[in-house]
Amino acid sequence: MNIGNSRIPWARPILFGDEKVLAAEAIESTYLSAGAFIERLERAFGALHGDADAMLAVSNGTTAIELTYLALGLGPGDEVIQPGWCFAAAANMTLAVGATPVFADIRPDDWMIDPDDVERRITPRTRAIVVVHTYGNVCDASAFVEIGRRHGIPVIEDCAESMFSRRDGRVCGTFGDVATWSLQSTKTITSGEGGFVFARDDKLRQRMKLLRSHGMSGPRKYWHVEIGRNFRLTNVQAAIAVAQLGHREELIAMRRRVDRGYQRRLGNVPGIRLQHYPKAVDPVVWAFAVLIDPDVHTVPRDEVMARMAKTGIETRPGFYSFGQQPLYGAPPLANADRIAAQTIALPFPPDLSDAEQDRVVAALQEALRA
């Protein structure tokens, strides 16, 4: 293959072969929906986060958030504070349950939600705080837990992009009252789609179990005690995720190699700023983004991306801030709006070669030339 002419995708899943073996085992068992692989996955992923009994597998990372909101009883009249710049799953599910998203600004260096701005936005209607750990970084979750306890507000960690990242030695998802993850195909481990929700409180977790499967309870079949949903993961998907989880250390090492390569190549390029990781954070990077300083580089961000696309390199913009999207009716937020307008996420397949990284960086520098 000629690396110089081939397309470099923004992401691609890494498969090891035993995914097919375990998926076939699930199929041969004839338990395609419920089955043994689901409990095996829940217990293994739960154990990595301190409690083998506290993890629930669900159909995707977005339903993990919706399930959390439903279990907490969020609805019309309630406010949920969340970042003004991140992927929109938490905001969409806030609106889906009839609650109101309240957007707080992010910090200009690590691009994480600002605890001071969160505290300013708490009102008597605030029912939850959602912190989204973006691109592999981990926000100062302990600060949010302290805020939440002081005000009697649960803290939800969205860990979809920061699976296995750590802060102060603690794995992401073990700080707040509830945590959610995604198993979508670009994530650190994948089953194509899928997710997890982790709840510390047993009563809340039991309610999640009920809502996850149509609100059915008791020995009688088809007996509904509450209006539920179908948020279940299939046994076949769970089998794939079990196989992926067995390669966790390899996948983490691959991502760290690519991250180090980009840091080395781009860390000192004038007019390009990288996301800051505090010393307390040991990241497992999901996406590598660069912020382009418009005072140094005059080519618009979207034009840079278009130029790179012409060379066969796929990039993505930083998430649009909620203030930029009319759907959300959000106010302008200085840091969120600026970072959204100036950020490009570069290709980050875990198996990205050194030659491919060289090509990406060269294409970026060429595209920045006026």
Q: Which CATH superfamily is domain 248-367 in?
A: Aspartate Aminotransferase, domain 1 (3.90.1150.10)
Question: What count of other Cβ atoms lies within 10 Å of the Cβ of residue 280?
Answer: 13
- pLDDT confidence tier of residue 1, bands split at 50, 70 and 90: very low
Q: Who contacts 268 (Cβ-Cβ below 8 Å, separation ≥6)?
A: none
Over the stretch 161-192, which tens digit does the pLDDT of each residue have? 999 999 999 999 999 999 999 999 999 999 99
Over the stretch 83-112, which tens digit does the pLDDT of each residue have? 999 999 999 999 999 999 999 999 999 999
Q: Give the start-to-end residue ranges of the domains of the chain.
A: 18-245, 248-367
Class of domain 18-245: alpha beta
Provide the 3-class DSSP secondary structure of residue 355: helix
pLDDT > 90? residue 230: yes
Over the stretch 231-255, which tens digit does the pLDDT of each residue have? 999 999 999 999 999 999 999 999 9
pLDDT > 70? residue 5: no
Please say whether the dihedral angle defined by the alpha carbons of residues 225, 99, 131 and 175, taken in this order, is positive or negative.
negative
The number of residues in the chain equals 370
- pLDDT confidence tier of residue 2, bands split at 50, 70 and 90: very low
